[in-house]
Amino acid sequence: MTWKRTASLDDIAARISGADHIICTTHAKPDGDAMGSVLAVVRGLRASGHNVEGLLMGPVPAPLARLVGDTPLQVLDGDAQPEGSWPDLVVIVDTGAFSQLAPIEGWLREHPERIVVIDHHASGDEALTDVRYVDDSAASATVLVKELLEHMDVDLGRGDGSVAEALFAGLATDTGWFRQANADARAFRVASELLDRDVDKNRLYRLIEETARVQRLALLSRMLGSIEVIAKGRGAIMSLSGEDFESTGGRRDELTGLVNEPLVVDGIEFSVLMVEDGPGVVKLSMRSKPPRSREGAFVDVRALAGQMGGGGHVHASGAKVQGDLAQARSKVLQGLIAIGVEEA
């Protein structure tokens, strides 16, 4: 469902000011933007005297875990549920979809009136809450979190372990370190302001992006070995099976960025990576290039993901489907036809 703003920064700030106990959470298996948004909210509000803690649903990628420092976070694994009594307010960042909050969906449904959302995606579930600050033109959720914290006169701090560092980490990772189409003028302005706060971008890049195990290379080899060019040369589809992970010793949290590999080829406009994510479940990651010119055509992978119940952004989206890899491949091809991308 289309996800629209229903609240102002004043509204969100008032809800936060009126709450004695706050939990900030995000989608399961957090990425850099999700982690950065949670850390920024927790660090900023705690420094301002609020009783707030972070809640993550694992697994948390090891490189992102290095950003946490001494920020108080509770990590839920498996079917574990939040501890203690219901807080006065739950702040959800970087998602508004129950499918991405599945481990705690039942818990969240108990008190939708105590939930606020800060999100930069174009779709979500209205039943989650009536109070949401949404802007799908923002390059990352941390852009919106920064707006909120500055609106509340929260000091963003300086250097390592600061609110500013967490905000920059989310923005940098969600723009592919400012290489993707969503790295617009607004994103660069925000980045410049955060760098002025002594954020060490080189340290962050090494901390987050250059920490892979050698097993990741083995997974990359398997993935590239499965590559199939589709849509008359416009796309690439790849797969990783459960056996690939078992034989290489690789982990599913080591796949970040691998789906982008085929996009270095001149004629490839979009890429899909299918990963067995459990018995009868396949996770799909989708990426596409921006058009060659401002008015040019491109493949909207958000529309493709939407054909399979997923979502995201026009150039970066995902979905989960039932079945095996062959069935997932068939669904992807059907989805391409449905959105007008001719299949070979």
pLDDT digits (tens, 9 = 90+) for 16-60: 999 999 999 999 999 999 999 999 999 999 999 999 999 999 889
pLDDT tier at 159 (50, 70, 90 boundaries)?
Answer: very high
For residue 7, the SS3 value is coil
Q: How far is CA 280 from CA 100, 226, 262, 284, 322, in A?
A: 18, 20, 26, 13, 6
Domain at 9-209, CATH class? alpha beta
Nearest in space to 190 (alpha carbons), one of 232, 152, 237, 137: 137
pLDDT tier at 2 (50, 70, 90 boundaries)?
Answer: low
Average pLDDT, the chain: 94
pLDDT tier at 12 (50, 70, 90 boundaries)?
Answer: very high
Q: For the whole prediction, is pTM greater than 0.85?
A: no
Neighbours of 196 (CB within 10 A): 10
Tokens of 166: 């967490």
In angstroms, the CA 164 to CA 195 distance is 8
pLDDT score of 56: 97
pLDDT score of 172: 98
Annotated domain spans of the chain: 9-209, 214-338
pLDDT score of 19: 97
343: buried, middle or exposed (CB in 10 Å: 19+, 13-18, 0-12)?
Answer: middle
pLDDT tier at 343 (50, 70, 90 boundaries)?
Answer: low
Characterize the bridge pairing of strands 22-25 and 73-76.
unpaired
In angstroms, the CA 339 to CA 299 distance is 9
Please give the share of the chain, as a percent, with pLDDT higher than 70. Answer: 99
pLDDT score of 298: 92
Which residues make beta-bridge pairs with 132?
117
Residue 109: pLDDT over 90: yes
Residue 75 phi/psi, 5-degree rounding, is -110, 120
Neighbours of 20 (CB within 10 A): 9
Element housing 10 (H / E): helix 9-17
Domain at 214-338, CATH class? alpha beta
pLDDT in tens, 224-272: 999 999 999 999 999 999 999 999 999 998 898 899 999 999 999 999 9
Nearest in space to 343 (alpha carbons), one of 238, 229, 266, 265: 229
Angle at 282 between CA 277 and CA 286, to 5 degrees: 110
pLDDT tier at 344 (50, 70, 90 boundaries)?
Answer: very low
pLDDT in tens, 276-329: 998 999 999 999 998 888 778 899 999 999 999 998 889 989 999 999 999 999
Kindly state the average pLDDT of the residues 128-133.
96
